[in-house]
Amino acid sequence: MKMELKRLGLLSVIKICFVLFFILGIFIGLLWAFILLIFGNLFAAALPVDTEIGKIGLIGIVVFPIFSGLFYGFIGSFFGLVAAVFYNIAAGILGGVEIEIAAKDIDKLSEPERTTEEGKYRLI
């Protein structure tokens, strides 16, 4: 069965993009936090005086991914919104994306079967 995707719901695109980019931002934030932790401690150890320059600490490992996730979430949802608006405009002019969906056992989903002592029957 072929169907056409005529338009995207803007609020649903924003929600999905925020969650996906938030998760991506947390992973990227963790990666950068560990890189800063390693190289910051190496930099601080190379200095001749005892200083806290370059040390990120445990709080930075927790806080940096959260802020990174929020940043990626807001930026990703903004660009997802822009892409959805452009898609809706283009789909209105040119037509939507055609997708093919396989309809397996659609009769079983639409009409549940009931069993009695006499046999099976369908609800109408």
Model pTM above 0.75:
no
Q: Which long-range contacts (CB under 8 A, 24 or more apart) does 26-35 make?
A: 26/65, 26/66, 26/68, 26/69, 27/65, 28/68, 28/72, 29/64, 29/65, 29/66, 29/67, 29/68, 29/69, 30/61, 30/65, 32/64, 32/68, 33/60, 33/61, 33/64, 33/65, 34/61
Instruction: Say how far apart CA 81 and CA 72 lie, in whole Å.
Output: 14
pLDDT, tens digit only, all 124 positions of the chain: 888 889 999 999 999 999 999 999 999 999 988 888 787 766 666 666 666 655 667 777 888 899 999 999 999 999 999 999 999 999 999 988 898 887 676 555 555 555 666 655 555 5
Query: From start to end of the chain, where are the E strands?
Result: 2-5, 97-100, 113-115, 120-122
- Taking only Cα atoms into account, the Rg of the chain, rounded to an integer number of angstroms, comes to 26
